[in-house]
Amino acid sequence: MINSKDHPVEWALLIYKLEDAKEHLKNLIKQLTAKTGMDEIAFKTQLFHVYEHLNRAWHSRNTIGGISSTQWHANSQLPVSLKFFED
């Protein structure tokens, strides 16, 4: 796994991805606890957005250097076992 000493740029990007996920999760919790609430589709959409950030962090934990746009897209995909529109 990359580390801050040997790969400072990649490490900073990894931490950024995790911070971004944390911020989106914080906002989701804030919306869920608000009096207005949230419908299920909005909840799923926002939760899966958080997951995309976490997924990119997971896939980049060993990446040194840049990645192609194709690889970035692949790193953002949800596992097949997670279904967006299933109950």
87 pLDDT band, cuts 50/70/90, is: low
With tokens 């971004």, the residue in question is: 20
- pLDDT one-digit tens code per residue, 70-83: 888 888 877 766 66
Maximum CA extent, the chain: 47
| Domain extents in the chain | 8-76
DSSP class of residue 79 equals: P
- pLDDT one-digit tens code per residue, 3-62: 999 999 999 999 999 999 999 999 999 999 987 878 989 998 999 899 999 999 988 898
Give the burial class of 59: count Cβ atoms within 10 A of its Cβ; 0-12 exposed, 13-18 middle, 19 or more buried. Answer: middle
